[in-house]
Amino acid sequence: MAIEILLFDDNPLIRKTVPLLLNSDEMHVVATMENPVSVLDDLKNFLPDLILMDIDMPQMTGVEAVKKIRSENAEIPIIMLTVFEDNEHIFDAICAGASGYILKGKVSEELENAIKMALNGEAPMTGSVAKKVLQMLPKAKNPEQETNNLSARENDILQLLVKGFSYKMIASELFISIDTVRFHIKKIYEKLQVHSATEAVSKAIKNRWA
């Protein structure tokens, strides 16, 4: 069964291009909207598995739309699809509850995999965006400021989640098995009292954790 995707973007070229890029036996863009004013009704009408959301749209911004969605639905993955890579837009989108952040210039290279990552509970980000996110997280000045009692390995994994690494990429980077990654991530979720990679990343950014 194909993954059903709902796209919000005021650019007609994007609304035309993204379905051409994604539509296949695996994925299908069920509808495209030029603004998210009726986003909650749109979710009920189309029942998508995932949302692609622009940031700068008339009548309601993408960040405002994400907040509105999260007030009703904490689970559906939302990937921001945007030209903005400044700290303020990234911070606002992730803290609002976005699941990932992909630049439009990287759509053809990254979007399909980002969708799969988001549906797997991971937090996909374009590389330059991940770098900026890490720059938002100052290093702890002393051991007492460490992230909510995370171990050194758990903190390493949280940093890689913030970078947008998949579980497989984390395993390769740290030379451990995927099962070990899953074990550590479960512990991270328990300690941070969250339920997904997106929530962990969002909490790390909000609290300026190292």
Domains along the sequence of the chain with CATH: 3-133 (3.40.50.2300), 138-206 (1.10.10.10)
Helix (H, G, I), strand (E, B) or coil at 7: strand
Mean pLDDT of 73-93: 86
Burial, 77: exposed, middle or buried (Cβ in 10 Å; 0-12, 13-18, 19+)? buried
Q: Taking 90 as the threshold, does the pLDDT of residue 28 lie above it?
A: yes
Structure token digits, residue 186 = 């479960």
Question: Which one, of 172, 151, 90, 154, lies nearest residue 123 by Cα?
Answer: 90
- pLDDT tens, 108-138? 988 999 999 889 888 888 877 776 776 665 4
Locate all alpha helices (DSSP H) within 80-135, ordered by sequence.
87-96, 107-119, 127-135
Alpha-carbon 176 to chain mean position: 24
Confidence at residue 46, expressed as pLDDT on a 0 to 100 scale: 96
> Which DSSP category does 139 fall into?
P
In this predicted structure, what is the pLDDT of residue 121? 82
* Average pLDDT for 176-188: 87
Q: What angle do CA 129, 131, 134 make, to 5 degrees?
A: 110
* pLDDT exceeds cutoff 60 at 192: yes
Q: Does residue 193 come out as left (phi exceeding 0), alpha (psi in the -120 to 50 range) or beta?
A: left
Token code pair at residue 22: 């994604």
- H-helix or E-strand containing 33? strand 27-33
Dihedral sign computed on CA atoms, order 147, 151, 155, 161: negative
Q: What is the mean pLDDT of the chain?
A: 85
Q: Pick from 23, 62, 69, 20: which is nearest to 42 by CA?
A: 69
pLDDT digits (tens, 9 = 90+) for 3-18: 999 999 999 999 999 9
Q: How confident is the model at residue 168 (pLDDT cuts 50, 70, 90)?
A: confident
Average pLDDT on 169-198 reads 84
Q: Quick check: 72 and 41 in contact, CB under 8 A?
A: no
